[in-house]
Chain A
Amino acid sequence: MTTTAPTAAAASSQATITIGSTVGIPQLNPAVSTFSWEETLYPLLWDGLTQLNAKGDVVPDLATSWSSSPNSEQWQFTLRQGVKFSNGKPLTAADIVQDFRYYLKPSTPFQNANEIASIKSVSSSGNTITFRLSAPNALFPEAITTVKAIYLPSLSDIDHHPIGTGPFTVQSFVPNSTLTLVANRHYWGSAPKVAKLVFLTEPDPTSAFTALKAGTIQVMGAIPDSDVSEVAHSSSLKLVKPEVPGSYVSWEVDTKAPPFNNVKARQALAYAINAKAVLNEAYFGVGTVSTENDPISAKSPWYDPNLTKYTYNLAKAKQLFAQAGIKSGTTFTWWTTSAYPEWTTSGEILQASLKQIGINLKIVSNDVSTWAAKFYPAGKSYPGLIVPNFQSTPEEPAFSLNFFMPNRCECNWNSATYASVFNSAIGTRSVVARAKDWDRLQAMINEQVPTYQPIQLEVDAATSSSVSGVWEESGDQLHLEGASISS
């Protein structure tokens, strides 16, 4: 591993880029990715049939083209010719079929299992892969972007020697510490512009950012919000941000247990959130306030502007709390984790607001596991708790709005209407009809307040100004496959 800045001439094939992150990479199987940072490896080591580009559009990857039956229940993909795995074995349509069957197995903890749950069968013939779905899905090519082509015979050794079709392969791997990638000489596309990518885990954000400034690392994923303005004003560093942010602050309550089983109580809390203060104090102003409690960014074409605005209004909050039978002197609990100091700050701001209308907020800070155990997975009862969290999804509403489907959200909110509208949206090929459905769903979330989305976040990465070709997807996934470095 070389961590000194390369002195060779521009974009030489000997160049190394070191990428620092506060989050580690614990394992390499793309089907069981446990943390979002691992997804940075998706475009480097793996390919799917389809992929999303910087604009959020679905484009060919291992599939060169695709088509569907009129009702969107049957899909056919044509496999790219001449693709080889990094061990030199050719990729066949049968491999893809096996991979999908592996992803669909209940014992595979695939985090996007819901996206592909409607696949009834997958088969191949020649170069063609055919999917049959149990329900129409016009957005199926989008839904399978996270399913990657894996060389299954070596699955049991995937953390040591992962074999994929991406532009890089693994040279060495120390889980949660260092991962070194080198160019895959069997890659079907154009060769990468650097010889090596080194992923270095630097758990402390301050020292990671220091290492970026020192040049020991040249890319840092998810820089602290407090450092964003310094990067923006630096001549030696540049910011990398998604075109449309896909992350948002998400606070959850148990909508099945009192007091938040009452929609008035949920709306009351929405009015009590001083989102502007939370954004400025806790997130250093990096992001935008979402008054409509909308999980979809205002920058997205799918965003619905005609919704009730929950502008900070304590009088209204007090009135709604009273209507929900919540008396002055009631105590809620802010169940947070010390891993995210901004959550504690957010809690303190909410605490100050609620205090003014006679409601107490007890702030309890835990380590991550203790925090999660209380409300996760969906189905747990946690009355009176307000749990800060965050979500990050691709720009496509099918991903972000999927979270509110029955039995998915830890908020325990189940709405059959919501489910049927959602299914109709992904089932229709008409963009206009789908937009209408997305609007209906946004309106339901706006009115019902199953969770709170006070702020659309912006998770920025930073690179040294010598690095180019790095971009960030809507769900904060960093793309380094085209990265190059000059001296």
Chain B
Amino acid sequence: MWRYVARRVATSIGMLVATSVIIFVVLRALPGNPVITRLGANSGVSPGEVARLRRQLGLDEPIAVQYWHWIAGAVRGNFGRSFFSQFSVTQLIAQRLPATLELTIASVLITLILAVPAAVLGAVRRGGLLDRLGALLSSFGIALPPFVSGIILLVVFGVHLRLLPSAGYVAISTNLGQNLRHMVLPALTLSIAQAPLVFRYLRTQLIEELSSAYARTAEGKGAPRRRVVFRHALRNALIPALTMLGLIVGYALGGVVVVEYVFGIGGLGSLAITSATERDYAVLQSIVLLVSATFITVSLLVDLAVQALDPRLRGARS
């Protein structure tokens, strides 16, 4: 078990290093650079000025040296500065992390609240009215890009019903009520895309578990149907579904970019978009590294959780 953990942690770190190299090189291989973007509003810029700014931003050094500066700083918690303001990358990310984190967690929670009961109902009453309704709604959810569902929610709840604010983010520390009101629509938008995936996967898994021999054994013991469903089938179905949840977190991190864009939320996603457009290398490469690290960590935790929950994977005990 511990050897497995050590091996997984080692590969995770390897993946992270590889990711950092790739993002670093790919970013700089793109046409355009932060100097041009920064001088963007100015006409009549001399080549000397461009060269001076390049030097000031440290872009004239060999790429390997630039990478070394970044990584050497990063391991000490210093990710450099934005090319476009006096903010350090750490400050920029810290400002925006709460919104993205809350959005991701809220959307995954809503996803589970929507999808798990629906999957249970669908699997237990297969082909029933609720099952068919679930299938229909999940087809909609999968077909609708978050961009479109977000705008629909905006128009319905923001413009027509005027129930919920349609843009911005309020920190939890500022006002919890406002914070939650601002979170509802964006989190729901993400969940509309995620819940169908969880619903379909869990339902299929649950149907398989319910038709398994051990579920019949439980029933044969005289266990009521509800106990068979929740104590046996659902618990076992959730183990592979946990792996799915790890993917959903990754999916949410991706979806966050779109949702933040639509709802004008200043999170990591919108920071990533801005820094990509501006070629703000230091910021973008650090966000990508952070998101990769998060995703790799979540996958690692999920793997370890599955290991811990499924005795078959733990190896012989005695």
The smallest C-beta distance from A103 to any residue of chain B, in angstroms, reads 13
- Which residue of the partner chain, among A35, A36, A156, contacts B86 with CB atoms under 8 Å? A156
Contact between A175 and B270, CB atoms less than 8 A apart: no
- A-B contacts, 23 of them at CB < 8 A, read A1-B170, A18-B168, A26-B82, A27-B85, A109-B38, A109-B39, A159-B86, A175-B87, A175-B95, A203-B264, A207-B167, A211-B158, A211-B264, A214-B154, A217-B167, A369-B30, A369-B33, A370-B31, A371-B32, A377-B45, A377-B50, A378-B43, A379-B47
Report how far A19 CA is from B52 CA in the complex, Å.
36
B159 within 8 A of A: yes
> Which residues in B have some Cβ–Cβ distance to A below 8 Å?
30-33, 36-47, 49-50, 52-53, 56, 82, 84-87, 92, 95-96, 150-151, 154-155, 158-159, 162, 165-170, 174, 178, 182, 261-266, 270-271, 273-274, 277-279
Per-residue B-contact encoding for A357-370, CB less than 8 Å = 1, 0 else: 00000000011111
Using A202-B167, A214-B159, A377-B36 as known contacts, say yes or no to A33 and B86 having CB atoms under 8 A apart.
no
A3 contacts the other chain (Cβ, under 8 Å)?
yes
Interface string of A370-410 (1 = CB under 8 A from B): 11111011110000000000000000000000010101111
Chain A residues with CB under 8 Å of B266's CB are 174, 176-178, 201
Return the chain A residue nearest B37 by Cβ.
A369
> Considering the complex, which residues of chain A in the window 75-129 have a beta carbon less than 8 Å from any beta carbon of chain B?
106-107, 109-111, 113-114
Q: Considering residues B45, B84, B86, B264, which has the most beta carbons from chain A within 10 angstroms of its beta carbon?
A: B264
Please encode chain A, from 335 to 367, with 1 for each CB lying within 8 Å of some chain B CB and 0 for all others.
000010000000000000000000000000011
Chain B residues with Cβ under 8 A from A369's Cβ? 30-33, 36-37, 277-279
Question: With A175-B85, A216-B166 known to touch, is A114 a contact of B44 (CB < 8 Å)?
Answer: yes
Closest to A406 in B: B44
CA of A405 to CA of B261, assembled, Å = 39
A159 to B166 alpha-carbon distance, docked (Å): 28
Give the nearest-CB partner of B99 in chain A: A177
Compute how far the CA of A96 lies from the CA of B28 in the bound complex, rounded to whole angstroms: 40
Residues of the B chain whose Cβ atoms lie less than 8 Å from the Cβ of A26 = 82, 84-85, 274, 278
With a cutoff of 8 Å between Cβ atoms, the chain B residues found around residue A207 in the complex are: 150-151, 154, 166-167, 262-264
Return chain B residues, CB-CB under 8 Å to A144.
Answer: none
Q: With A216-B166, A367-B277 given, is the CB distance from A175 to B82 under 8 Å?
A: yes
Q: Which 7 pairs across A and B sit closest by C-beta, in order of nearness?
A: A177-B266, A369-B32, A202-B264, A408-B44, A27-B85, A214-B158, A377-B45
Q: Can you list, as one digit per residue, whether each of A13-51 has a CB less than 8 Å from chain B (1) or not (0)?
A: 000001010001011100011111000000000000000
B261 and A203 within 8 A (CB)? yes
